[in-house]
């Protein structure tokens, strides 16, 4: 598995397994077991997904060494602030049945993120978290938190897919030595992404699937990518992306697909913020 270097000296796999929207807990547990056995080392979950306990059971059942895994979870908006973050983190750790996390993220840029960040800095000093980072922070929020705290975020996880490529945000993260990570690389299949003519032609050129092309488009540019599946054969297919290279012309063709709009919601939209704040 290819890796990327984080600004704190740690490394992480460039491709991993996500468990968002696997609501059936037995299915989530089995999916984690299957993913690890397929060769995944990065497992990404979150407090708000409601399946951290299932993920922990899956990790335990998989029977691999802890140091061979890179486990990420995320803090939800209802638990921002110093004390609440400390408490929420300990709950996450207990559910996952782990002694430490490789990466812990503030899931949304709302609430007392400064208090949360100070708690995460302290947890990192205590050895309970190896790397700390953010999720869904736009560049202005990202630099704001970076400039007024002791520890720079190691990573920022944002929506990146062919319809919403976010080159300006990615370039800014590169300038700040903050690792970009992509959620929803397949845009949940919106706008017929899996049958798109451009992507299909590129896939045919390499005898690969459209999904594999999208994942390679990300990982080839050292953007960490996450993909979800409950089917072992699809897990294996998604992982089989490191034996081909997209050409400059193919990368340019994919760049031309950018719609420059979120396929989900705008994190700066007041209505979206209010909706997220109401979720528990």
Give yes or no: 49 in active site: yes
The domain total for the chain is 1
Catalytic residue among 49, 82, 104, 114: 49
In a domain, 6, yes or no: no
Q: Record the tokens describing residue 25, joined without a space.
A: 């807990």
**The three-state (H, E, C) secondary structure of 50-62, written as one string:** CCHHHHHHHHHHH
In a domain, 117, yes or no: yes
Q: pTM value?
A: 0.95
- Residue 197 belongs to domain spanning: 11-277
In a domain, 40, yes or no: yes
In a domain, 52, yes or no: yes
DSSP 148: T
Specify which residues 13 forms β-bridges with: 3
CATH number at residue 192: 3.20.20.100
- 254: phi then psi, degrees, rounded to nearest 5: -65, -40
pLDDT in tens, the chain (280 residues): 899 999 999 999 999 999 998 888 999 999 999 999 999 999 999 999 999 999 999 999 999 999 999 999 999 999 999 999 999 999 999 999 999 999 999 999 999 999 999 999 999 999 999 999 999 999 999 999 999 999 999 999 999 999 999 999 999 999 999 999 999 999 999 999 999 999 999 999 999 999 999 999 999 999 999 999 999 999 999 999 999 999 999 999 999 999 999 988 778 888 888 888 777 6
Q: What share of the chain is helix, strand, coil (3-state, %, to 5)?
A: 50, 15, 35
> With 0-12 CB in 10 A as exposed, 13-18 as middle and 19+ as buried, what is 231?
exposed
In a domain, 141, yes or no: yes
| Residue pair 88/126 in contact by the 8 Å Cβ criterion | no
Predicted local confidence at residue 280, as pLDDT: 61
Predicted local confidence at residue 204, as pLDDT: 98
In a domain, 4, yes or no: no
As a whole number of angstroms, the distance between CA 78 and CA 66 comes to 29
Give the residue from 144, 140, 170, 167 showing the smallest Cα distance to 155. Answer: 170
Predicted local confidence at residue 1, as pLDDT: 82
Residues contacting 50, CB < 8 A, separation 6+: 23
In a domain, 1, yes or no: no
In a domain, 3, yes or no: no
């Amino acid at each position: 598995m290819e890796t990327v270097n984080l600004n704190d000296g740690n490394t992480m796999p460039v491709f991993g397994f996500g468990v968002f929207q696997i609501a059936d807990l037995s299915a989530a547990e089995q999916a984690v077991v299957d993913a690890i056995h397929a060769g995944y080392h990065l497992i990404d979950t979150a407090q708000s997904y409601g399946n951290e306990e299932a993920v922990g059971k899956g990790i335990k059942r998989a029977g691999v060494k802890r140091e061979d895994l890179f486990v990420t979870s995320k803090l939800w908006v209802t638990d921002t602030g110093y004390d609440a973050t400390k408490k929420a983190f300990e709950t996450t750790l207990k559910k996952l049945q782990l002694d430490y996390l490789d990466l812990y993220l503030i899931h949304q840029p709302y609430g007392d993120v400064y208090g949360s960040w100070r708690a995460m800095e302290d947890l990192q000093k205590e050895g309970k978290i190896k790397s700390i980072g953010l999720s869904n922070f736009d560049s202005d929020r990202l630099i704001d938190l970076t400039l007024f705290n002791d520890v720079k975020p190691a990573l920022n996880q944002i929506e990146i897919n062919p319809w919403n490529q976010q080159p300006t945000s990615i370039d800014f993260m590169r300038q700040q030595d903050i690792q970009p990570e992509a959620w929803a690389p397949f845009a949940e299949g919106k706008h017929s992404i899996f049958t798109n003519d451009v992507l299909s032609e590129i896939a045919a050129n390499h005898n690969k699937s459209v999904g594999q092309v999208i994942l390679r488009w990300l990982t080839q540019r050292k953007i960490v990518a996450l993909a979800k599946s409950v089917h072992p054969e699809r897990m294996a297919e998604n992982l089989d992306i490191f034996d081909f290279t997209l050409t400059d012309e193919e990368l340019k063709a994919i760049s031309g697909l950018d719609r420059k709009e979120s396929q989900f919601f705008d994190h700066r939209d007041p209505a979206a913020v209010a909706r997220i704040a109401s979720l528990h």
